[in-house]
Chain A
């Protein structure tokens, strides 16, 4: 029986395993150094905030794996020997595979800041990181202040987490507005204000110079590059993005760049070795307007769904459909469908509407040459994935989209609707434009 070994029990590794099982009888082993069972990384914050316990973040009950004959092995893969198809574990043992799937995810970026490895300086990615945070910042007596470095999706989650335990937070963001490399100006500005409304000390346009230690080698304070200001703190959250977690394959014959290089079939340069999820990098360029490395949950899942087909002898190219994503900034939910870039690119324009309560807004991006609808960002209003996916496929124009917005609304029943306001703002816009 063919033995499929998957390194990494995150969403991509687990999805590929599940789908291989659905379609075949192959022997499947999932290897992970992190936890015995698959848990949802996206829910780490809710454990710290006390909404859930660790056990609730496991999408499948523990009996699931045995029932589906998916073997789980806890261990850290130190090297991969592709000639003999062998994995060597740090613990000393080995494992043979017929086909290997690398799904090892990401690790937090550290940019060589002085003091970045001190006790109390940490990223937020793994279960171990969460346990560290629980030790470093159990409450506001042990952790009198925390500084977060890096204003992305994980940074703001960390800010919300610490805030939930009344730990004062200083949030250092390199850009001059939150996440404005991705979000258009109006949205980014609204989120800035929302962060401040939560009494988080948001510092825009500042960089970390160094982290200082106390006499026990623990974090004592940080220094800001631009002003030289020193801020006392007990925890420094390093959340300046993530990069593929592949140092253990660098020595092998598997070709890598920032991530493991794969073609459209998610195959590496070595036969029978594949890579999916956060750690995979598209060899030629990103697909469509996607980046070569897509570190999001959904793409990991989709790569898993696709690769399972290939492994089960139905060779399938990874062809993700229309881009979509979502996040939550403290209390404001965000969804996106299609492409909306921070600044309109050539022949593109944005239509922006914001509600006066400053917690809801949308930005629609369209092509100025033919009015084609290109994408939407929506804050504080839920929208239907299916509807936007259809409109993007049908290449609708912006008029159609704005006029039919009620069809796309996904807010709970009895919620106030804003489609009329949006429509009239849109019409006014046209007249003045």
Chain B
């Protein structure tokens, strides 16, 4: 046995892949930046916050930039995966676990103990600690003090930009990787970070709305407080609601049909953006086991069903009406509750029937699970209608239900496990196991999309680089070595499998739906008659 395999668990420095002096300096620079933030967290009062904040963020960015340049630009262009399974941080070694614990702790504080970050802890509700450090920037952008979400958003954006730069250098021979990384940086910086701040400046009644965050990823979009805020913001609010609906029902299906779910998951989405940039070093950690795939399918579809039912319930109760100054006011919108529930039911029935009629053969055993899911949703529509009262959905206080949903999906799953566990479960465990948006897009990608990863005839040598690099845990090799195209609902189209393949076997492309899924018995290159004989069967 190779004695290399267990090294990463030891605290001792792995004996290969020493980093250069320049990289050490860069690392130290970044850590000093981080240290400023940590000191602020421990309530060290910095004299001139604007200066120190700038310093902290610049040092972190500069450290990452210098490190990346030295790591990649000193070598020829090509695949840069040397030692990823030796380095403690990227192979679930001690460093990896330490980072995981640190990130998880950060998320727990962020979601549940924001006061520790200093939110509103000062005199007259002003901020202290880490959040106060970010006040100058927040004031600059939107004229209000920072919140923990502003701190988080800023760090998130800096991480995507700095590690995005690193990723671009790592793949400097690969245009696809570079362009999509520029794209995620752009959407994060513009749509998730700056535009909502400016929207607030323009109209302070508007709730935070990241235009690129589409329902059901944006699970609170249709919650009553949110809808109320929108409606009270006048025309622009209404327009935004309409935009939200259109982006789910029209824009998303069209783009997914043309390009697959990658247009969102690895070009636009913020969760995906962080995974692809800051999370890139952990992509190999996702489990490729068949058992993980099974778990994934149960979990993600359960989350989807849950989020559909939740949203319907919430909208339904909103349409019924709400309490104003202790008096219940019947809802009086152009859409009645009955009409809403009926149209949701009809819509789902049309989709379900369409799939069953046209795609039955591709579904196999999954058809049964699909039917169960469908029945569950329809049933719940009735339950919502007959049992939903003004304050209860499914006999449970609607407020409790909503916060439970936000809690489990929004914080535990996407934050704590999704990002906190990057160094343990890989960089896309949220996208893979928990994101309802990924479930919908994936379903369409599998059923109705031009996207596929084409396998290049018989060229695969089963080396496994592709599967190893797949952050979604897809066993790409399983298909490639059979000469079969990869058409999987979970594929986010990151293109890394194609990049790392040493034999040029994989190509992400959009082409006609015919022959997209091409199971073969005998691969290209063998006896033509034999191929015909066996592959026709």
The answer to whether A43 and B503 touch across the interface, beta carbons within 8 angstroms, is: no
Could you give, for residues 448-478 of chain B, a 1 whenever the CB lies within 8 Å of some chain A CB and a 0 otherwise?
0000001011110111110110000000011
The answer to whether B527 and A56 touch across the interface, beta carbons within 8 angstroms, is: no
On chain A, the residues within 8 Å of B364 by CB distance are none
* Complex: A327 Cα to B502 Cα, angstroms: 7
Q: Which of B236-244, B334-342, B434-442, B518-526 has 4 or more CB atoms under 8 Å from chain A?
A: B518-526
* Shortest CB distance B181–A (Å): 12
On chain A, the residues within 8 Å of B522 by CB distance are 305
On chain B, the residues within 8 Å of A309 by CB distance are 530
Chain A interface residue count, CB cutoff 8 Å, equals: 64
A-B contact pairs, 27 of them (CB 8 A): A49-B82, A50-B4, A51-B79, A51-B81, A52-B85, A53-B5, A56-B467, A56-B468, A61-B289, A134-B4, A135-B3, A138-B4, A197-B76, A305-B530, A306-B530, A319-B528, A319-B529, A321-B527, A321-B528, A328-B503, A330-B76, A383-B504, A384-B456, A386-B524, A413-B175, A414-B175, A414-B176
Residue of A nearest to B1 (CB): A131
The answer to whether B2 and A134 touch across the interface, beta carbons within 8 angstroms, is: yes
* Complex: A374 Cα to B463 Cα, angstroms: 29
The answer to whether A134 and B507 touch across the interface, beta carbons within 8 angstroms, is: no
The answer to whether A302 and B464 touch across the interface, beta carbons within 8 angstroms, is: no
* Shortest 8 CB-CB contacts between residues of A and residues of B: A385-B457, A331-B78, A382-B504, A43-B463, A414-B175, A50-B83, A319-B527, A42-B461
B481 within 8 A of A: yes
On chain A, the residues within 8 Å of B175 by CB distance are 412-416
Of residues 284 to 305 in B, which have CB atoms within 8 Å of A's CB atoms? Answer: 284, 288-290
Q: Name the one of B176, B461, B477 contacting A297, with C-beta atoms under 8 angstroms.
A: B461
Q: Name the one of B76, B85, B173, B527 contacting A51, with C-beta atoms under 8 angstroms.
A: B85
The answer to whether B464 and A410 touch across the interface, beta carbons within 8 angstroms, is: no
The answer to whether A52 and B508 touch across the interface, beta carbons within 8 angstroms, is: no
* Shortest CB distance B484–A (Å): 13
The answer to whether B499 and A412 touch across the interface, beta carbons within 8 angstroms, is: yes
Tell whether A414 pairs with B179 under 8 Å between CB atoms, given A40-B463, A46-B463, A50-B83: yes
On chain A, the residues within 8 Å of B465 by CB distance are 43, 46, 51-52
Interface contacts beyond A22-B521, A302-B458: sample of 14 additional A-B pairs, CB < 8 Å, sorted by A: A50-B85, A51-B84, A52-B464, A59-B464, A131-B1, A131-B2, A320-B526, A321-B525, A328-B502, A331-B76, A335-B459, A335-B504, A384-B457, A412-B495
Residue of A nearest to B87 (CB): A50
Of residues 359 to 399 in B, which have CB atoms within 8 Å of A's CB atoms? Answer: none
* Shortest CB distance B260–A (Å): 12
On chain B, the residues within 8 Å of A333 by CB distance are 502-504
B509 within 8 A of A: yes
The answer to whether A49 and B83 touch across the interface, beta carbons within 8 angstroms, is: yes
Of residues 59 to 96 in B, which have CB atoms within 8 Å of A's CB atoms? Answer: 76-79, 81-87
The answer to whether A415 and B176 touch across the interface, beta carbons within 8 angstroms, is: yes
A348 within 8 A of B: no
A220 within 8 A of B: no
Most buried by A among B5, B288, B504: B504
The answer to whether B525 and A320 touch across the interface, beta carbons within 8 angstroms, is: yes
On chain A, the residues within 8 Å of B15 by CB distance are 138-139
The answer to whether A134 and B527 touch across the interface, beta carbons within 8 angstroms, is: no
The answer to whether A165 and B16 touch across the interface, beta carbons within 8 angstroms, is: yes
On chain A, the residues within 8 Å of B78 by CB distance are 330-331
B498 within 8 A of A: yes
* Shortest CB distance B411–A (Å): 33
Residue of B nearest to A326 (CB): B503
* Shortest CB distance B84–A (Å): 6
* Shortest CB distance A61–B (Å): 6
A345 within 8 A of B: no
The answer to whether A320 and B5 touch across the interface, beta carbons within 8 angstroms, is: no
On chain A, the residues within 8 Å of B79 by CB distance are 51, 331
The answer to whether B508 and A413 touch across the interface, beta carbons within 8 angstroms, is: yes
A389 within 8 A of B: yes
A198 within 8 A of B: yes
* Complex: A414 Cα to B181 Cα, angstroms: 13
The answer to whether A59 and B504 touch across the interface, beta carbons within 8 angstroms, is: no
On chain A, the residues within 8 Å of B467 by CB distance are 56
* Shortest CB distance A152–B (Å): 16
* Shortest CB distance A329–B (Å): 10
* Complex: A416 Cα to B175 Cα, angstroms: 8
A89 within 8 A of B: no
Most buried by B among A50, A309, A383: A50
Tell whether A47 pairs with B526 under 8 Å between CB atoms, given A324-B459, A415-B175: no
The answer to whether A50 and B84 touch across the interface, beta carbons within 8 angstroms, is: yes
* Complex: A317 Cα to B478 Cα, angstroms: 27
The answer to whether B2 and A47 touch across the interface, beta carbons within 8 angstroms, is: yes
The answer to whether A382 and B85 touch across the interface, beta carbons within 8 angstroms, is: no
A54 within 8 A of B: yes
Q: Name the one of B2, B481, B500, B526 contacting A321, with C-beta atoms under 8 angstroms.
A: B526
On chain B, the residues within 8 Å of A320 by CB distance are 525-527
On chain B, the residues within 8 Å of A306 by CB distance are 526-527, 530
Could you give, for residues 227-239 of chain B, a 1 whenever the CB lies within 8 Å of some chain A CB and a 0 otherwise?
0000000000000
